[in-house]
Structure 1
Amino acid sequence: MAPRNLCNSLGNYKLTDLRKEVIRDFYEEMRHSPRLDGRGNLSEKSVEGLHNTLGGILSAAVDEGYITHNPAWRCYKPKGQKKERPVADEETVKKLITAFEGQSMKYETYFKLVLATGLRRGEACGLKWSDINWRKRTIHVQRGVV
């Protein structure tokens, strides 16, 4: 799906002619494009996927020296409201902590850290011992793992 849409909509532009306005218009056009199965228009997730693909292509063009900057950078804004994610209440968190006690020390520590700090999975997995300041009782998140 992505290559067809990208080539049809942006294939006539020279790399140096791609501007944020053109790319934003492309995203808006894609939001109103029908799905291949005919069940409505492309989802916002699909449009975001097109943005990621285009951004990757343009980043490679920058790396190869074809253009000086990536025009898709900071160009994508999701349409509509972000959905609020459900958060575990205090009782559920206590049950989780109790369930982890006595299990593998590695998993118990990991899940308790995530529950206590709100770190994302990639942030927690990217931590090193040097990221912890034991005196100040702080954790400095410097990297993430994908």
Structure 2
Amino acid sequence: MYRLILFFFLSAVLVSCTNQKEAGPSKELSIGPSVVYEFAVVGNNKFEKIRNVIYIKKILKEVIGKREEFDGLIILNDSFEEAAKKEYREFFKTIQYPVFFIGTENILTAVFHKDDLTLDDVKIMGLAHM
């Protein structure tokens, strides 16, 4: 009886084994984004080249005047004085794509969309790492 049970068990194991490979995806997965992203950059553009990312150097007045559509807007710290002017605040409140303020470690970004703040009001002295 023991040999009969062992025979059926081994038969089941051997029948379930096969030499066929499992069907996998037919094409290779691509690494990285497949869409080209365009970012408007206000300030000195010193970004490294990244595949499928285009950095377009712009002046803030050009971006606001033409209302071009980008995938994002990058404002560097050398252009904060210009961006903090009251004439641009409505633009920052209603913009439909993300805005990245690079170098804002020592200021609060509320200055770019609140009417009662100035750049000097929001500077954080020595509290950047708290």
What is the TM-score when the length of structure 2 is the normalising length?
A: 0.21
More helix by share: 1
TM-score normalized by the length of structure 1: 0.20
Higher relative contact order (CA 8 A, sep 6+): 2
Q: Which has the higher strand share?
A: 2
Greater CA radius of gyration, 1 or 2?
A: 2
